[in-house]
A and B are shown apart, each in its own frame.
Chain A
Amino acid sequence: MEFFTKIPVMERTALRELKKSIDFSFKEFSRAYGDAIETFFDPLLYFLIWLEKLLVNTPWPIVIGVFGLLAWTGSRSIKLVIGTVVCFIIIGYFGMWKNCMATVAIISVATLVCIVVGIPVGIIMSKSARAEKAILPVLDMMQTIPSFVYLIPIIMLLGIGKVPGLLAVCIYALPPIVRLTNLGIREVDKETLEASEAFGATPMQKLKSVQIPLSLPTIFAGVNQTIMMALAMVVIASMIGVKGLGVPILQAISNQYLALGLMNGLAIVALAIIFDRVTQQYGQRIQKHRGQKK
């Protein structure tokens, strides 16, 4: 009877030993390879620091001007440019300029990393059903596992700082771009592909001249999602030493500063809206002639 009322449990000491041994072996691993892994990420760290300094040290009118120009290049909408400029001026006016620039820096680097890693992975997935089967569950896990859980090994391995924060952001923000690259390439019209093959395109030529250009709008939707998810990680990244708008929010939580939390929170929202609108408009613009007629 007891079997039905009480679920079988592993013996306590054995369970403790199991956990201990996992912890121990990971500690051993991080002791052995931690430094090497840190050195591996050094270039990324320098790049991030450089970008952050650049954004902070450049006179603010120039920075805002560049942002306005980028918004114009992306969207060709004067409304959006005005919105962008006004948002950044307000953010600066309320004393959040430095943090905001730090956040823009980490978001940009994280997005870049995700693009560089995610698009090739997405292409591989689209080419092989087996790769797709293997990678999909990993992506599911990356998106659903609570971020605090993967923060633990990252901190054990790399300590507290910018790089572990960046990694945490990337893990969370990578899946959409991989998924949408895969989807975009798989969705390319079959007859268009046949045409490319029939004229003697090699698989590489087919990829470059047809598949990637035609899936760009979808890939771009992935970039957009990736940016949004990276922004969502700003506060959590701040917990492990990333500077930015997340830091004052953490302060606000522990000290119950409503206004501080609200202001910085809204600044993140403003960033999100600007990034989202600009990249979306850009995505629509490149779609102009790509609409596949049925």
Chain B
Amino acid sequence: MSKIEINNVYKIFGKNPRSVLPMVKDGATKEDILDQTGHTVGLDNVSLKIEEGETFVCMGLSGSGKSTLIRHLNRLIDPTDGDILIEGTNVMSLNKESLIDFRRHKMSMVFQRFGLFPHKTVIQNVGYGLEMQGISEEERKKTSMEKIEAVGLSGFENQYPNQLSGGMQQRVGLARALATDTDIMLMDEAFSALDPLIRSDMQKQLMDLQAELKKTIVFITHDLDESLRLGDHIGILNAGKLVQVGTPEEIVMNPADDYVEAFVKDVNRAKVIKAKIIMTPMSEANGIEKSNLIKVQEDQFIEEFLPQIVCTNSNCEVVDKQGNVKGYISNKELQTSLQKS
């Protein structure tokens, strides 16, 4: 069972979404529907599965429906049609009380513009989810302080959000989401409002935290580099349709259509592709020049061993963590893999 499963979800915005649904299902385009009915298609037959413990990045340009999609998971937005299963529970079947309970214990969320409560101090902000869970003030304080430390904001707990910089504010948002210790974390363009250096910092911090916590993270972004860096899987949305789902390598190596291709065109492939993706397996590696081999780990990115290869003009021997030889990459193969398609 997948942690999160979205089945054939449609979302149409407008006066009478249900009436437009058949048209959308018949495959009318977003523009046609807007012209003819005045309704906006937010999501068009989106289905995907997200496994426990992975970071799923949902990417698309603004207006592609990615923020709409993430809000379906905790039902800040209700779908026009389709099912959303979280740990096998259909969230559409929840009544008001169970939905509130579900939001308190199953999911937390980080927002693009932080969504902090300006009238509460940092520690009160971080403890908000716990407060909703009905946890005592003392325990709230203790947990909040732990999370504030975890994001590196010790000493700021009694400040108000508007006394902090953008990056610090988002750390508060992150701590608030961590505080409730939910399995699933939704991050809606969480780092988009930050400047590049701080963004990169926060990405690193998120990855470090994730390595330890192993949460299921759904991350929304419009930044390809960010999605390649963070995502175990990436889903690309265009005009409400999910056009491709895959690992970062798959997205870069085999873009599903022109839209995705345009996205990945300028990506530094060496940063994304791992040795094991381009290696020739042991069994097929005949006639490779083995006199001048360099050992590389199968999970290393090309970027990491490229300089060595270029300098020595040698071939690679790909090994796994135990040191068993898995395959080879010839110098020539390496060159082709880095060429833009």
Chain A residues close to B by CB (< 8 Å): 189, 191-192, 194-202, 205, 209-210, 213-214, 289-293
Task: Give 8 A-B pairs besides A199-B109, A289-B161, A291-B162 with Cβ atoms closer than 8 angstroms.
Answer: A194-B111, A194-B115, A195-B116, A198-B76, A199-B104, A199-B108, A200-B133, A293-B118
Closest 9 CB pairs of A and B: A200-B104, A195-B115, A200-B103, A198-B109, A289-B160, A199-B129, A191-B115, A200-B132, A213-B119
For residue B108, which residues in chain A have a CB less than 8 angstroms away from its CB?
Answer: 198-199
A192/B103 contact (C-beta < 8 A), A198-B74, A200-B133 known: no
B76 and A197 contacting across the interface, CB-CB below 8 Å: yes
Nearest CB in chain B to that of A193: its residue: B115
A194: chain B residues within 8 A (beta carbon): 71, 76, 109, 111, 115
Chain B contacts for A291, CB-based, 8 A: 118, 162
Residue from the set B74, B107, B118, B133 with the largest chain A CB neighbour count within 10 Å: B118
Residues of A within 8 A of B114 (CB): 191
Given contacts A191-B112, A191-B113, A194-B76, whether A289 and B101 have CB atoms under 8 Å apart is no
CA distance A201 to B108 in the complex (A): 12
Knowing A192-B117, A210-B117, say if A199 contacts B180 (CB, 8 Å).
Answer: yes
Q: Is the CB of A200 within 8 A of B113?
A: no
Partner of A198, one of B107, B113, B116, B118: B107
A-facing residues in B121-139 (Cβ within 8 Å)? 128-129, 131-133
CA distance A205 to B160 in the complex (A): 21
Say whether A199 contacts B103, CB under 8 Å.
yes
Distance in angstroms between the alpha carbons of A201 and B109 in the assembled complex: 13
Ordered by A's residue number, 7 sampled pairs between the chains whose C-beta atoms are within 8 Å are: A189-B115, A195-B128, A196-B117, A196-B128, A199-B103, A200-B105, A200-B129
* B103: A residues at CB distance < 8 A: 197-200
In the bound complex, CA of A289 to CA of B117 (Å): 10
A216 — nearest CB in chain B belongs to which residue?
B119
Question: What residues on A are CB-neighbors of B119 within 8 Å?
Answer: 213-214, 289-290
Measured CA separation A200–B96 after assembly (Å): 10
A contact residues around B132 at 8 Å (CB): 199-201, 205
**Shortest CB–CB separation between residue A250 and chain B, in angstroms?**
46
How far apart sit A189 and B116, CA to CA, in the bound complex (Å)? 10
A contact residues around B101 at 8 Å (CB): 200
In angstroms, how far is the closest chain A Cβ from the Cβ of B217? 15
- Distance between Cα atoms of A116 and B116 in the complex (Å): 30
A214 contacts B118, C-beta separation under 8 Å: yes
Given A191-B112, A200-B132, do A290 and B118 touch, yes or no (CB 8 Å)?
A: yes
